[in-house]
Amino acid sequence: MPTPSPVRVVRYTKLFAAGLAIAGLLGSVLSFSPALAQSGKGKGQPKGSRGSAGYGPGQGSSGAGIPGVGSSMPPGGASSRMPPGTPGGAGGFSGKKAGDKKGGPAVRPKPGEGTAEEYDNESLPRGYQVPQEPPEAFNTDEEWIEDPTKLPADAKKADKDRAVRLLNNSFKSVMTAGEFTKDSDKQLVVDMVRYKLAQLTQKEFREKAAELRIKLEQEIEASNNKTGPRAARLLALKTIADEAPRLFQYHFVARLQGAILLAHLADFNETEADAKKPAVPCSKAAEALVAMVNDEQQLTAVRVWGVNGLVRLATLDNISFQLRSRLVDVLVAQMNASGKQHEWFQLRLAEGLGRLSVIQNQDKRPVVPQALALVLADSTRPWLVRAEAAQSLGRLQYDGAPSVNVSLLAYEMARLTQQIMEAYNKAPKQTVWKLCMIRIYGGFKPLEDEDTSKDKTPPKRGLVTQVEGKPGLSSHRKAVQGAFEKVLPLVSKVVGEPKEIDPALADLKKWLEDKDNRPENYKIHPDEAPIISQSNAGGRDPAGEGVAAGTANGR
């Protein structure tokens, strides 16, 4: 059976991910928990506060109907299935027109037919579902107001606008120079950064909030020359890290742009590399990002960008060991606790863990592959999340201590393939199957060439590539290659020509049932808890549940 072309596989990945991203964004905006939405209505709680803004499974994005979001959504959506509360979703309103045969209003009885007990004029029509109230974060008009001009409150608007323009020009000049020529320059930078952050909360700027955020990033980047001073940039970065978390109590647009801004701080260097020492990246947003990700009352779209930011930081070369360990612990803890979170949040965590350059924590425990392996084997997780975990397990590097049972990982990838193919046979037209199979293939062999600097050797990605190229993993070669040989024909058929699937599936089942192929135990490491390998018997029928089919809770 020929191997799928990497170009073809990547093309499928990008096309389907783009389509699913749009659906995922719309689901985020329209999906929320009524209980949490109502929880913020008590007295003494300001509009837009975290307590009133939290909502359950839901993802955010940059759909066309959402002002101020622009094109800032993380790449790739998680699902084409709409969450509860969206038209056509599992819950909330159905999207049908009033009067449809199913789920429409009850028919009023004709005169003389029925009694008062049979028809209650005060009750809602049979089958009618009250639309869920959006969280306060989508309705609040609370604004953060900053006036850097220090003009009297009754000053004319034209005078204030003119003063702001002058201050903004001075701010740009200071940022371009990169240093302070007088003491007042420092206060100017702080005042103007706060002013620009406050604009993100204001209704009049909501439509172009993404544009304002990008402009602020560009102004900070103006001092990015290799040899220039860094004083102005350092102060601007610190001010953003300190002040941007205030945005998380205002409108959704402000929250999202604030999260993206904090995530992007890791792209700036506090000092550039020279002949004697490497560059020092900006890690000032770490604590704000950790708090954002750990805040379960925060909107999921915002938390997703928090995950992106933590992954950016954790993958940087020149951060401290202590900080990297802390970030790994946070991401692993979130992955372990994310079973009831929205599919998109789970997906971003699984993807992010696979991008880490370490697999262990400070105690030398392989916590990263352990967390991903538990997701891989968990039949209550969405299909796409489990497949993403498979790909991430193949991306991690298994070198020396701590030893990881790579054979078990390959076996579980093969088991997931069997479960997916059984669901595929019930609903073969769902696009999620191609996405899942592409990711499983990526767990065995890399989908794309590694993008590394010229002075670095590209890491080996994929279990097959690693067992063939690393002597320390040679004992796992037979199991990994055996699993891949049975999985590959099914990948080729689902991604390419979906013909004669049953014989290939039967061949895979036979391999899985062979006692010589079964793992001795379900531990990836002697000191770790066993993976709870479950069958898919309790899952829902894929024909009725969209891309989350097969998950126990239909998430």
User: According to DSSP H, which parts of 377-462 are helical?
Assistant: 383-395, 406-426, 432-444
pLDDT band at residue 54, thresholds of 50, 70 and 90? very low
CB atoms within 10 A of CB 67: 16
What is the phi-psi region of residue 49: left when phi exceeds 0, alpha when psi lies from -120 to 50, beta otherwise?
beta
Report the alpha-carbon distance of residue 178 to residue 191 in Å, rounded.
17
pLDDT band at residue 36 using 50, 70 and 90 as cut-offs: very low
Query: Which runs of E-coded beta strand occur in 14-112?
Result: none
Q: In the predicted model, what is the mean pLDDT of the chain?
A: 79
Which residues are 281's β-sheet partners? 269
* Between 27 and 511, residue with greater pLDDT: 511
Phi, psi for 278 (deg, rounded to 5):
-80, 170
Distance of alpha carbon 12 from alpha carbon 151, whole angstroms: 57
For 127-152, the pLDDT digits (tens) are 777 777 788 888 899 999 999 998 88
Q: What is the pLDDT of residues 341-361, one digit of tens each?
A: 999 999 999 999 999 988 988
- Report the candidate in 232, 228, 229 with the shortest Cα–Cα distance to residue 219: 232
How far out from the chain centre does Cα 169 lie?
37
Q: How many CB atoms lie within 10 A of CB 362?
A: 13
Structure tokens at 211: 């544009």
Altogether, the residues listed in the chain come to a count of 555
Residue 545: enclosing H or E segment and its boundaries? helix 542-545
In this predicted structure, what is the pLDDT of residue 297? 92
**Phi, psi dihedral angles at 270 (to 5 degrees):** -75, -35
Question: Which contiguous run of DSSP H or E holds residue 271?
Answer: strand 269-271
The predicted structure's pLDDT at residue 487? 97
For 199-216, how does the pLDDT look when each residue is reduced to its tens digit (9 = 90+)? 999 999 999 999 999 999
**Interaxial angle between packed helices 406-426 and 501-513, expressed in degrees from 0 to 180 and rounded to the nearest 10:** 140
| Beta-bridge partners for 176 | none
Of 252, 352, 246, the residue nearest 300 (C-alpha)? 252
272, 261 in Cβ contact below 8 A? no
pLDDT in the model for residue 12: 53
**Cα(478)–Cα(483) distance, integer angstroms:** 9
DSSP string covering 323-390, please? HHHHHHHHHHHHHHTGGGS-HHHHHHHHHHHTT-S----TT---HHHHHHHHHHT-TTS-HHHHHHHH
pLDDT of amino acid 134: 80
The whole-angstrom separation of Cα 384 and Cα 433 is 8
Summarised one tens digit per residue, pLDDT across range 2-21 is 555 544 555 555 555 555 55
The model's pTM:
0.74
The tokens 């699902």 sit on which residue?
79
Amino acid occupying residue 418: Q
How far is Cα 214 from Cα 209, in angstroms, rounded to an integer?
9
User: Do residues 441 and 483 lie in contact, with contact meaning Cβ atoms separated by under 8 Å?
Assistant: no
In this predicted structure, the answer to whether residue 394 has a pLDDT above a threshold of 90 is yes
Residue type, 340: K
Q: Which residue has the higher pLDDT, 518 or 223?
A: 518
Collapsed DSSP state (helix, strand, coil) of residue 280: strand
Pick from 433, 445, 431: nearest CA to 390: 445
Tens of pLDDT, residue by residue over 151-186, are 888 889 899 999 999 999 999 999 998 889 999 999
Which residue do the tokens 């965590």 mark? Answer: 349
Q: Which two tokens stand for residue 379?
A: 């039949």
Residue 53 has pLDDT above 70, yes or no: no
C-alpha closest to that of 34 among 111, 116, 74, 91: 91
Interval 284-343: pLDDT, tens: 999 999 999 999 999 999 999 999 999 999 999 889 999 999 999 999 999 999 999 999
Give the pLDDT band (50/70/90) at residue 227: low
